[in-house]
Amino acid sequence: MKILVINAGSSSLKYQLIDMETEQVLAKGLCERIGVDGKFSHKSVNGEVSKDVELKNHADAVENVIEALTDKEYGCVASLDEIAAVGHRVLTAGEKIYETVLITDEVKEIVRECIPLGPLHNPANLTGIEACEKAMPGIPQVAVFDTAFHHTMPEKAYLYGLPYEYYEKYGVRRYGFHGTSHRFVTQRTAKLLGKSVDEVNLITCHLGNGSSITAVKNGKCIDTTMGLTPLEGMLMGTRCGAIDPAIVCFIGEKEGLSYAEMDTLMNKKSGLLGVSGVGSDFRDVTKAWREGNHRAGVALEMFAYQCKKYIGSYYAALGGDVDAIVFTAGIGENDGRMRASIVEGLEGLGIKMDAELNAGKCVDKVVSTADSKIKILVVPTNEELMIAKDTAEIVENL
């Protein structure tokens, strides 16, 4: 069975075609600058192509994806009939849907109703879905929600200390994001530890451009750092993470900024970029720090310190009963120095890093010492495979 996975963003569309029998990626690619001008790159087991092409909207992008997948030279399927289903990454359906579902008109309506909770992503996800429905009639379309894994959080973890009416009226609560990634590494870690998923207690650290940390008890999320939106939690590439909420009014008033401008400031101009003044990419900030840039060094220290504090708080939330701390995503998988800084000083909690095992990029590997009470693992995430597996399960049961 071949599943096409679509991840539609506001101006981009990423895709992968996965063979479910072998879990091999047959093709993957990226449509960029949709609605601006257009750039398309595609790589399959048979060849690759990269070109500037007009992408007026997501429908144009999907058309290019289909052409590339079926191309005689660099394609990998003879016809679209070989594709059993399309799995879409969808940001949120609020509290209304959290399980993977076959997309119907009703599902699309709910995703549309939840646009206020995901103003950038939900509209793009819908456009991606509708473009695929049109281009591939009859092929089942499935939605996998980014918030899904976190729906098991108890009220005490997801409610904010605000008047309850805003939860009832507008759904203001913690939803959490990167759910597909946290779920993938939870399942993979359970396997690596030789346990069943419902037996593992973990602290999963997804450290990438966006970063979030999740406390997992018996395989289920009990708390996570991102909130109503992906802005809460750790300092990230361009996002400030958790700050004193009064700062919003303070800076807004001083600088005469509107809510929308404050939102941009916190989402796009803060984090590693805002503190270091160098950039949002971890490698650029690290390079600047090595060259003696003080603010770059402080930004990296803040990153490690904040992650350490969340690990400590989730250790408490789990009552100290933690099997492993898991690092994943761009920074978590590749940057051994950062992983070491994060867990440094946690030996008293039974968390001991093995410097030799931890060096460099690690794949599905235990990097703690043999006597570390809590193991430390590096597990590469694979959200696309998770989406494809969920999608396959839905279509197998149709």
Q: Which are the catalytic amino acids?
A: 146
Tell me which residue has its CB nearest to ligand ADP.
Answer: 330
DSSP secondary structure string, 324-387? EEEEEHHHHHH-HHHHHHHHTT-GGGTB-B-TTTTSS--SSEE-B-TT-SBEEEE----HHHHH
Output the smallest distance, CB 31 to ligand ADP, in A.
Answer: 16
Interatomic CA distance for residues 210 and 103, integer angstroms: 27
Looking at beta carbons only, is 178 or 220 nearer to ligand ADP?
Answer: 178
Interatomic CA distance for residues 266 and 274, integer angstroms: 9
Looking at beta carbons only, is 177 or 315 nearer to ligand ADP?
Answer: 177
Output the smallest distance, CB 307 to ligand ADP, in A.
Answer: 14
- Cα separations (Å) of 224 from 89, 134, 356? 19, 37, 30
Output the smallest distance, CB 208 to ligand ADP, in A.
Answer: 3
- Cα separations (Å) of 142 from 5, 101, 129, 152, 267? 9, 6, 9, 22, 29
The angle, 0 to 180 degrees and rounded to 10, between the axes of the packed helices 121-135 and 58-70 is: 50
Output the smallest distance, CB 322 to ligand ADP, in A.
Answer: 23
Looking at beta carbons only, is 71 or 281 nearer to ligand ADP?
Answer: 281
Output the smallest distance, CB 185 to ligand ADP, in A.
Answer: 12
Interatomic CA distance for residues 207 and 105, integer angstroms: 35
Q: Which residues of 64-100 are buried (b: 16+ CB within 10 A; e: fewer)?
A: bbbebbebeebbbbeeeeebbbbbbbbbbbbeebbeb
Looking at beta carbons only, is 87 or 332 nearer to ligand ADP?
Answer: 332
Looking at beta carbons only, is 149 or 315 nearer to ligand ADP?
Answer: 149
Element (H, E) at 271: helix 271-276
Looking at beta carbons only, is 128 or 208 nearer to ligand ADP?
Answer: 208
Q: Which residues of 274-294 are buried (b: 16+ CB within 10 A; e: fewer)?
A: bbbebbbebeebbebbeeebe
Output the smallest distance, CB 273 to ligand ADP, in A.
Answer: 10
Q: Which residues bind ligand ADP (CB under 6 A)?
A: 208-210, 237, 281-283, 329-331, 334-335
